[in-house]
Structure 1
Amino acid sequence: MNNRQTDANTGLGEFKRRARQTGRFVTWWLLRGAVKPVLGVIVAKALQQSVKGRAMAPWLVLALVGLCSAFGPSKQDEEDYEDVPINKTWVLSPKVYESDVTLILNKLLLGYDNKLRPDIGVRPTVIETAVYVNSIGPVDPINMEYTIDIFFAQTWYDSRLKFNSSMKLLMLNSNMVGKIWIPDTFFRNSRKSDAHWITTPNRLLRLWSNGRVMYTLRLTINAECYLKLHNFPMDEHSCPLEFSSYGYPKNEIMYRWQRSSVEVADQRYWRLYQFAFVGLRNTTEVAHTQSGEYVIMTIFFDLSRRMGYFTIQTYIPCSMIVVLSWVSFWINKDAVPARTSLGITTVLTMTTLSTISRKSLPKVSYVTAMDLFVSVCFIFTFAALMEYGTLHYFTSNRTKKTKVSNAQHHKSTSLLNIRPGTSLLHMNHILPYHEEDDYMYECLDGHRSSSWSMERDGAEGDSVGCTAPLRMYRYHPAAITKHKTNGH
């Protein structure tokens, strides 16, 4: 009896040794990726036969032990799976049933308190962040804000969510978001934020077996962007997007950028309109407040304004109005209505263009580059109008002075420029002054009634006096010549 037991033990030990060798061989063969499905079918068939026979042979137990040691996951395997893409995770994994996932989730959530952050009281929770920019725009310069559509991802480790399973990753929907702890991240310079809920909430939760959690959601944000418009419309801006924890200070939560943390989509479909996307950069800083020190993550989007719209709407029209105002210099100076109407029209047009150019800007108190250009154009058009007004004033004044001087000269040298009310005037030795006219006069005294006459220049009237009435004639050079020829 003892000999039989000794032989059985010896045979069992030999079989175990051979089973271990077989297990190593199977492991090597599995690495070659050739017979794993075949062995799985063989073992399953053997188990089925053993259950039916209500007995399990010792060699089957040893075979199962060898297969488990060969197929079981190792630490190295977990490290290898860490960065493997999701679509390759299940290549060599055994089939997992829905009941297994449900069992894992129920076990993880049993006694889980989602009000407490991971590793509370031990060390800060590190949140790795990444942003995928779907689109930017439009930019509103009047309200100084811009619209951005992003996919925002946060990754952290929660030791309470570790699980042992052949699955390395659980891809869960938005229903699990409210059951675990989520960082209280908010966007500091956001005026309005909208999460997308059609057709389902655009949120994603991924859970790794080592406790790694990734939470992703889609957001549309209207964020503040302070625009410095001194060089408008040749200005460039850096519009920030800031986010941080709302309630956890630096010693509770630490934010950190992932590798390739900010990526952008195809820019051809962005609605920037007046702006061109130049580039982006991300920074990390610490804000000191009364409630503590908070880590602030910032993304700067560099934008440059396009000048095409303003060249067509403002620069070219203003330049043409200035040139048009110079046309009045070629119009006759005596054409007062034409030159005046042209000058006033150009000034009013420049005023209208100045008002229109300001509608696309906020009411800032400083002068922009476009304001300076429009002001210079307005000065040119206004100066053209003032130039003609000044010219017309001095020209008219000089003409009046010339007429007055001529009248005074005639008053001192002529006694013939008289326009009497009747044809016969008794002057009483005095000939009153009057403006130039077309009349001549004849003295009707008894001595020289037929020989004395005065023409317009009054050359004879200075030396000859007439005490008799005067006879007035219409001045006509031909009549005077005839009169002198006939001796009358």
Structure 2
Amino acid sequence: MAEVNSFSLGVCFPGFQANLSPSVNQNLNFLTSCAKGVAVQDLSSRESDVKNMNWSVSAFLTFLGTLLSLGVMPAWGSASGYCDGEEFHLLPDANMTTIFYPNVEIPKDYEINELPNRRCSNKPFVLNVSVNLADIVSINEKEHMITLETTLGLSWYDRRIQVHIPTDGGQAREYILINRNPIGSIWFPDIFLDHAKDIRRPSYGIPTTFLRAYNDSKLYYSSRVNYDMVCHMSFEDYPVDTQVCDVLFESWSYTYDRMMYKWDIEHSSEYPGVRLRLVLKRNISYHLLRTYLPSLLFVTLSWFSMFVPLNHVPGRVGMGMTSLLTTATMFGALTSKTPPISYSTKLDVWFVACITFGFLALFEFTIEIVYRYYWQKIPRIPLFKEKPNKSTLTKQEKAIRTDAVLLRMELWGAALLLMGFIIFNIYYWVDLYQTYTRPVKQFTEEDVP
């Protein structure tokens, strides 16, 4: 058997140097430098090579088992840094590479699909969200849609990124402004808008998206976004209704135990997100001049027909029917402008009341006609003069008494209709004013779905 002159074994661990026991070191001379494997030198024969290799592999496996049993085995894949509690720190000699900007570097083992805190913590990663509402572009009541123009801001910490901020005239700047899309180069939040029908990025001739990189590895992303959102509206108090629209920003793939969106301590129950609540209050002056006042005048006109003599039937019926049909036409025109709903609005109540009081005026006149010509059997006025006799005088006296009864009926009918309409108006306008001036309900934790 040939004698082995020298034999060396090196095991490489990131940030870790190990030596075997002295009993093993009697025949092994370990190198201080780290090597990835087993090196055998100056073997004089194949047989000696195989025997010594088998022995070295056995010693290497025994060494690994000892480290694992003692719990001192370092974690693979963290060659670029280490964990200090729940914070990840880069090593001074970490192998870095530059990404999309000269002064921003990431480790070569950077994983863009891995949450920034995943190596050191099992807590949900915190993403801060801010929204600046620039304009409410349009409101489509029929489609229950609103179009918004907003600026969306996202900020988070990624300790795997190293930022070198250059000085500007001897003064250190707070951050580096990067007008490039970071998606595909670093980890980026998978935020999306729930119930959004269309999302657009406006173009103003300059970039509407930027990324700020701070010295403490904080990243702030901002983008101008226009979108059409579904807003479930309720028209029960129309035309003094107040609509509340919820805009939900959520994570597409991460659940709440992996990521948390923070915006004034407000979040969703299952998925992280923030809510932007829009309060839309209708101006009542439009309907005061174009709806309430005309319909009120037409109802009043239908009551004027009560002062037309009973023998002028066409004129009296014409006035009442014209007022009634005009009010109903106005009601139909306004209904066509609102979406189909299964409940009545305050404007519906107003028009139904106006139509009802106009109908009651015609109904009261119909009762008078029936009473005059059928119940009392009062003859119509003859075309030719007749010689008065006792029977004629009796009929004329009866007609006079009937006219007096009808006059009292008209007066009482007009008074009752007027009193009823006044009482209705008092109740209606007080309720309308209270609804119009009612404060908007404040958002509470119970409103979180």
The question of a shared fold, defined as TM-score above 0.5 by the shorter chain, is answered with yes
CA distance in 1, matches of 2:321, 2:99: 87
* Runs of at least 5 residues in structure 2 that lack an aligned partner in the other structure: 1-97, 168-173, 391-449
Distance 1:367 1:310 in 2: 17
Aligned residues between the structures: 283
Taking a change above 3 Å as real, the CA distance of residues 437 and 305 of structure 1, as seen in their structure-2 partners, is closer
Q: Secondary structure at the match of 1:329?
A: helix
**Superposition deviation, residue 121 in structure 1:** 4.4
Determine if contact 1:134/1:150 at 8 Å carries over to the other structure: yes
- The alpha carbon displacement at 1:227 in A equals 2.0
CA distance in 2, matches of 1:222, 1:372: 32
The corresponding residue for 1:73 is none
Rounded to whole Å, the distance in 1 between the matches of 2:183 and 2:202 is 15
Shift of 1:172: 0.6
The answer on 1:388 being equivalent to 2:349 is no
Quick check: 1:108 aligned with 2:114?
Answer: no
Contact preservation (8 Å) 1:177, 1:205: no
- Cα distance in 2 for partners of 1:308, 1:236 equals 15
**Residues 105-145 of structure 1, C-alpha deviations (whole Å, 9 max, x = no match):** 4x437554323331224333211111111112432222222
**Aligned ranges for residues 382-461 of structure 1 at < 5 Å?**
382-397=359-374, 400=377
Q: Which residue of 2 aligns with 1:279?
A: none
Alignment of structure 1 residues 58-97 onto 2, 5 Å: none
Trace 1:52-451 onto structure 2 (pairs within 5 A).
103-105=102-104, 107-108=105-106, 110-123=108-121, 124-167=124-167, 168-257=174-263, 284-287=266-269, 293-397=270-374, 400=377
Q: Which sits farther off after the overlay, 384-393 or 151-160? A: 384-393
Distance in 2 of aligned mates of 1:330 and 1:172? 82
How far apart are 1:164 and its partner, in Å? 4.1
What residue identity is the alignment partner of 1:122?
C
| Pair 401,342 (structure 1): closer, same or farther in 2 beyond 3 Å | closer
CA distance in 2, matches of 1:135, 1:129: 19
Distance of 2:100 and 2:358 partners within structure 1 = 80
AA matched with 1:118 = P
SS in structure 1 of the partner of residue 223 of structure 2? strand
Tell me, yes or no, if the aligned pair for 2:176 and 2:214 is still in contact at 8 Å.
yes
Out of 345-354 and 135-144, give the one that drifted further.
Answer: 135-144
Shift of residue 213, structure 1, vs aligned partner: 0.6
Residues 362-415 of structure 1 show CA distances to partners (whole Å, capped at 9, x for unaligned) of 111111111111100000111111222221222122564558xxxxxxxxxxxx
Q: 1: distance between equivalents of 2:198 and 2:331?
A: 33
> How far apart are the structure 1 equivalents of 2:324 and 2:366?
14
Q: Do 1:162 and 1:208's aligned partners in 2 also have CA atoms closer than 8 Å?
A: no
Mapped partners of 2:182, 2:363: distance in 1? 77
Q: Distance in 1 between matches of 2:201 and 2:99?
A: 32
Question: Quick one: distance in 1 between partners of 2:293 and 2:351?
Answer: 11
- Answer yes or no: is the 8 Å Cα contact 2:249–2:275 preserved in 1: yes
The CA deviation at 1:102 is 5.0
Q: Which of the pair has more CA radius of gyration?
A: 1
Structure 1 contact 189–223 (Cα < 8 Å) conserved: yes
Distance 1:350 1:284, change over 3 A: same
One-letter code of the match for 2:357? F
Q: Distance in 2 between matches of 1:129 and 1:224?
A: 21
TM-score normalised by length of structure 2: 0.57
- After superposition, the C-alpha distances for 1:138-186 in whole angstroms (9 at most, x for unaligned) are 3222222222211010000111211345455221113444422210111
Report the AA paired with residue 330 of structure 2. L
CA 1:112 to 1:335, structure 2 compared with 1: closer, same or farther past 3 Å? same
Once the two structures are superposed, residues 158-217 of structure 1 have per-residue CA deviations (whole angstroms, 9 ceiling, x without a partner) of: 112113454552211134444222101111132322122442441111111221111100
User: What are the superposed Cα offsets for residues 35-59 of structure 1, whole Å, 9 maximum, x if unpaired?
Assistant: xxxxxxxxxxxxxxxxxxxxxxxxx
SS at match of 1:196: coil
* CA spacing shift, 1:134–1:109, aligned 2, 3 Å: farther
Change (3 A) 1:319 1:103: closer
* Structure 1 stretches lacking a partner, 5+ long: 1-98, 258-281, 288-292, 404-435, 439-455, 458-488
**Conserved? CA contact 2:260–2:273, under 8 Å:** no
- Structure 2 equivalent of residue 446 of structure 1: none
Query: Is the 8 Å Cα contact of residues 142 and 338 (structure 2) preserved in structure 1?
Result: yes
The answer on whether the counterparts of 1:129 and 1:255 sit within 8 Å (CA) in structure 2 is yes
Structure 2 residue matching 1:294: 3-state secondary structure: coil
User: 8 Å contact 1:283–1:299 — kept in the other structure?
Assistant: no
Instruction: Percent identity, please.
Output: 24
